Each structure stands twice: as C-alpha cells, then as structure tokens.
Amino acid sequence: MTVRAALRVERAAIFLALAACVGCLVSIGPFATNDGPVHMSFARMFWFGLAGPLQAHVYVINRALDPNLIGYLIAGPAIAIVGADWAETILQAMCLVSLPLVGWLS
C-alpha cells in the first residue's frame, strides 16, 4: 500500500468514526447536558433580547469577548430554526467533531 493510499484509508476511517459518533448523538435525540440549558438561554437572550427576570437583573453584558461567544453565535440562529433542544444537540455535535478535526489539522 502506498503512502497516499494509506492516508486515504486513514481519512476515511476518521470520517466514519466521527460520523458514527454524531449519528449516535443525533439518534439519541435532544437531551440536556449539565449547563446546556443555561447556554441556550443566554444565546436566546443575546440574539432575541428575551432575558428572564433573573438574567435581566443579574447578568450585565460585558464588552470583552466571552469564551462561549462562538457557541452563542451558533446556537442563536439554530434556536430560531429548530428550537433550543435540537440547537443544543447541533452544538454538541459540532463540539464533538471539532476537537478531533483540530487535532488532525494542526
């Protein structure tokens, strides 16, 4: 087997493994993680300005970049399209796939 063929096999194996992981996640259906509902609530608040009384009172928007900002930017439109439960599942799938891909591409 040539090096090029071996790389194709390796890429296919990684792709199939990631697809299997995402498939398992999606087949389970939406489920809330420990802090997922809070992040979905903040994403909804940032995108649609719909803060609950506790968030409106306690949370002050800081102009510094938030480490979760990318997640909020992805989750906000997803909430509008598929609802918060599936938006969280989409975000989980993206996080699941992103770490191995970043490791491979680095």
| pLDDT string in tens for the chain (106-residue length) | 788 888 888 888 888 888 888 888 888 877 767 777 777 877 887 777 766 666 655 555 555 666 777 888 888 899 889 988 888 888 888 888 888 887 777 6
**What is the predicted pLDDT for the residue at 62?**
56
Q: Torsion over CA of 26, 29, 32 and 37, rounded to 10 degrees?
A: 80
C-alpha neighbours within 13 Å on the C-beta side of residue 48: 15
Q: What is the pTM of this model?
A: 0.69
| Among the listed residues 37, 15, 39, the one whose alpha carbon sits nearest the alpha carbon of residue 101 | 15
DSSP state of 66: P
Tokens 């194996």 sit on residue: 13
**What is the predicted pLDDT for the residue at 81?**
92
| Among the listed residues 24, 36, 42, the one whose alpha carbon sits nearest the alpha carbon of residue 91 | 36
